Chains A and B, each alone.
Chain A
């Protein structure tokens, strides 16, 4: 049973203005071969969640607590050396936002992809380059890309290189943090096709982080909707898109313009709260059309009959 189980994960940052509660006690599971999308507005803590899972953290972390278990093994209290050797890139890898602009400009693409195999696995150079050529084929790039430099590639090709880097160590889980931002729609569609194929062929699990609900539907088996550091609803893609329960999820979906159907667009008045000083009760209360007295108390996660979870007093 290969599974990622996250329980009450907390990630707080220390800043001059006070403590920023970027990720505030979130819990979710990820099954083998499954894709979970984490969606929400910018600043809701979705990227911070990814950094916590990869244990790539800035220096001003005030608190990182809770539990992250991979196949029953706790990752948060594992020492850094073991985590680096056994988990990061080997079991969980990541495609960072804007990573395609972070390729080394003076190193050939093939060598860049092969490097972790030499460093981590102690593979010799020719063998590592052979493996790199194979993975380039998997991401549907021509072989001559091996010998090229970063500036000779287009945006879409660079993004494929970054994906090749994320899968070369054969991880079980790949975290995709806005992998197509800054790409054109047709290039984006091609990349989504590639991610689907890799998922089907290799049985990869994805954690797909995006603010774009239309794009999320391209990969998600399940969705977690995040608002102000908390997961407010989590369920299957069918449930979330067709029958959203939390008022925030509902409004977020109603605000997405659709190409092929007619609907009146709604918007969410106001803006997300400051995570240094979030509202006492439900964090969505100041913007919620259904806010009532009880919302001044913090809601808890409720399990609905159909198996999804929602954090709202409407269902309590």
Chain B
């Protein structure tokens, strides 16, 4: 059982220090605050939450683009939490990222060929013809054809969807096992989002890639992944199978998040949405106890604002929730 787990995080924390000035005390912004995650090989886990909840920071920490404050990251049974850049080179090859913005993640002075050649050069593919072959194959896979035409183009000559395909080709070119996809379709037009999502799914099947899909859009996540973890203010508040969570959310925050999402239905205009007011807390100074209590409609005084709820299993199907209503 244990060897099926590709990546595990244990009580992972990523705090950023904020200098308070000469005589002020140093303060910490707790972007990720004690997260336990497990990713099995070949599966897709959605990490969902509002902006500023720490989901992108968690993704970057897992990729070891940051050095975690505390906790552990274990990849294929190996502890990579404290490895230095040199020791991490093999991990850099296995774990890749797809960023949100295809307009700023490609070097404008490089041709598509040069963009895709870069990772191959870094990882010692010495044979020029071999590199060329790999690049052509990668572009075919993301359906940027005719390939001959695209290799000599620059990013500004491509549309948003085409650029995101280049980003995907670059992420795939070293045959990674694990990809963090951080809002890969949110900057694209509605008509091509689905196409990119299906392309990712197809490539995942072909190569058995494990995805961490970071998004605020649960409606698209439903089509792309089986499992979901809901994050609020640096912590996981609920997790389980995505269909179960959509049909029966347990945590009041999950409930609010789902209630806020409209489906295309003309009768929406006649009714108001039942959502809590207010906004997520400041992560420098989060509220004591449960971090959602100031906005929570089911808030229990004396309990929720003093004691922090733990993530506990509920029933079957690996459903977990961090809320006093269920403990």
Contact = CB atoms under 8 A, between A and B. Distances in A.
Contact of A221 (B189, B269, B279): B269
Contacts of A42: 189
B269 A218 contact: yes
B161 to A, nearest CB: 6
A251 B193 CA distance: 13
A61 interface: no
Contact of B258 (A154, A192, A259): A259
B258 A268 contact: no
A280 interface: no
B267 to A, nearest CB: 8
Interface stretch (B32-40, B72-80, B219-227): B219-227
Contacts of A236: 266
Interface string B181-224: 00000000111111101100000000000000000111110110
Contact of B192 (A213, A259, A267): A267
B263 A193 contact: no
A57 interface: no
Given A186-B257, A217-B265, 4 more contacts: A156-B279, A190-B273, A192-B262, A214-B264
A260 B265 CA distance: 11
A253 to B, nearest CB: 6
Interface in B259-290: 259-266, 268-269, 272-273, 275-277, 279-280
Nearest to A287: B191
A242 B267 CA distance: 11
Interface of B: 50-51, 159, 161-162, 189-195, 197-198, 216-220, 222-223, 246, 256-266, 268-269, 272-273, 275-277, 279-280
B264 A190 contact: no
Contacts of B193: 255, 267
A87 interface: no
B269 A219 contact: yes
B269 A41 contact: no
Given A189-B275, A214-B264, A259-B218, A271 B161 contact: yes
A252 B269 contact: no
Interface in A61-119: none
Given A186-B50, A265-B223, A271-B161, A255 B266 contact: no
A156 B279 CA distance: 8
B190 A237 contact: no
Contact of A218 (B217, B246, B262, B275): B262
A125 interface: no
A213 to B, nearest CB: 5
A35 interface: yes
